[in-house]
Amino acid sequence: MAGTAPGTPGTPSVLRAMNDRAALDLLVAHGPLTRTRIGELTGLSKPTTSQLLSRLEAVGLVRTTGSQTGRPGPNAVLYEIHPGAAHIVAVSADPTGITAVVADIAGAERGRCRIEAVAVADDVRNRTAQLVAEAFDGALRRAGLGHDDITATVIGTPGAIDPHTGQLRYAPHLPGWHSRTLLAELAEVLGTPVSIENDVNLAAIAEQYEGAAQDHDDFVLAYVDEGVGAAIVLGGVLLRGATGGAGEIGYMPLPGAPLARGGEKETAGEDAGGGFQSLVAAP
């Protein structure tokens, strides 16, 4: 009988990886835990839990951090995520500049840099990758890190990347971000894999991870600032839409109220209010 291929579901290597991931998720969510508590939360035996913690320690993902006292018997060793095991850079683009923040794998901020740049200015439009690199490098310097220390870069912007074209849509106020080759340009200057995500979608993921939506699989996050947007999560999964535009809502016009895209004298008709209107004209 032919042998099972490496990585096949159900093989020991896959099961070990699943157990390791489950333990890491628990340590991220709950903070330091004892071996016994990790075993209770995962349903794994003591030997299996000890083995996975040894593996995670060996690769530098987990470390011991003191012990739990105040209980009968010997003090239990506490384990936590090793903060320096990996780092990520989060970049936020807005109409007036670019902010980069370096965080460790535990989510703690290590360095920050802001580059002021008016997005619609003529001398800014063609320098998007360069400006992102300046903010990126500035944050790294403040964190005392180099490019080789960064695992991934995530960029949050208004609008959304069209999955079919790779272009940023619904963000006419960020003209320098509309190039089809921008992702490749950013990956080249930053030296890491780059993801561009809608800023409100990222806010929803944050709420789902450690905010008001932690216990909810279905929710809508409405965002009201200089613009209006929303993020939709169904079954615990972020809904992006066929062209990445899910949640790009505008306002619900009311009879007699001024229209955002009309003049001072233009108002909604008597039949207004039946649905949301997009802030951006359809292509």
Q: pLDDT tens digits for the chain (283 residues)? A: 444 455 555 678 888 999 999 999 899 888 899 999 999 999 999 999 999 999 999 999 999 987 776 666 567 899 999 998 889 899 999 999 999 999 998 888 999 999 999 998 888 888 999 999 999 999 999 999 999 999 889 999 988 888 888 888 888 888 899 888 898 899 999 998 898 999 999 999 999 988 889 889 999 999 887 778 899 999 999 998 888 888 888 655 556 655 555 445 555 455 444 333 333 333 3
Amino acid at 66: G
Kind plus residue range of the DSSP H or E element containing 18: helix 12-30
Would you call 208 exposed, middle or buried from its count of C-beta atoms within 10 A (0-12, 13-18, 19+)? buried
Instruction: Read off the DSSP letter of residue 84.
Output: G
Distance, C-alpha 125 to centroid of its chain? 25
- The Cα-based distances of 238 to 21, 29, 94, 219 in angstroms read 21, 20, 22, 10
- Name the region of 282 (left: φ>0; alpha: ψ -120 to 50; beta: rest): beta
Residue range(s) occupied by CATH 1.10.10.10 in the chain = 12-81
| Domain spanning 12-81: CATH 1.10.10.10 | yes
**pTM of the prediction?**
0.73
CATH 3.30.420.40 describes domain 85-198: yes
